[in-house]
Structure 1
Amino acid sequence: MAYDPGAIDAALAAAVGDEPALIAELRLAFVESAQRALAAMEAAESRDAWREAAARMKGLAASFGAVRLMVLAAQASDLPHDSATLAKLRRSIARLGSEAA
């Protein structure tokens, strides 16, 4: 799947206009929220808790236009505590975070 590094910025620019500082702040908030959702998945003690955290990440990614992360989160829903899936999610979030810097 192609990775579109500008999708989040484009979605944010459409929402808030040409405000680079606000876009950067919102991007950082998105990345922090995605990291919290990932932490919730890692800490999930049940299949339901895992699915809830994956759904939270999927919705967050969808609302910010992070298509790759959204697809990974949707796939993760059926793979509780799968280390390969967690690694993919971690890398995807790290890429999005590195763009914010």
Structure 2
Amino acid sequence: MSFDYGALDAALAAAVGDDQSLIAELREAFLESAKRQVDLMGRARCDANWEYAAWRLKGLAASFAATQILQLADEAAHSAPGDPVILRKLQRAVAAVEVHRD
């Protein structure tokens, strides 16, 4: 699975310009929120909680142009709660953003 770092980086730069400390802060906020939603999905025991967390993750990813995570969140919203395959994919995608920190 590949991740489009350019879209995320471009969205952050468009939002704040060349302010590297603010870009880092926004990236950290994105990662924290994304991890929280994936964690909530992992603990969801009903369709409503699963879908709500998936939709929130999808909205977050759209706000930051994180297209791979957006697509996976959409896939998750249409899958069964607790689907281990989609959870692993989401965890890997979020981890890939974390590893790509500048």
TM over 0.5: yes
Partner SS, residue 18 of structure 1: coil
Matched, 1:29 2:29: yes
The answer to whether the Cα contact below 8 Å between 2:54 and 2:77 also exists between their aligned partners in 1 is yes
Matched, 1:16 2:5: no
Unaligned 5+ segments in structure 2 are none
Equivalent-residue separation in structure 2 for 1:90 and 1:84 (angstroms): 10
Unaligned 5+ segments in structure 1 are none
Q: Tell me what 2:88 maps to.
A: 87
Q: Tell me what 1:75 maps to.
A: 75
Q: How many residues align structurally?
A: 101
TM-superposed deviation, 1:81: 1.0
Q: 1:39 to 1:2 in 2, by over 3 A?
A: closer
Query: Which structure's relative contact order is higher, taking Cα pairs within 8 Å and 6+ residues apart?
Result: 2
Amino acid at match of 1:91: R
Equivalent-residue separation in structure 2 for 1:38 and 1:30 (angstroms): 12
Q: Tell me what 1:97 maps to.
A: 98
Partner SS, residue 74 of structure 1: helix
User: 4+ runs of 1 displaced by more than 3 Å?
Assistant: none
Percent identity, aligned pairs only, is 50
Amino acid at match of 1:70: L
Q: Tell me what 2:54 maps to.
A: 54
The answer to whether the Cα contact below 8 Å between 1:41 and 1:49 also exists between their aligned partners in 2 is yes
TM-superposed deviation, 1:9: 1.4
Equivalent-residue separation in structure 1 for 2:63 and 2:76 (angstroms): 18
Q: Structure 2 length as normaliser, TM-score?
A: 0.93
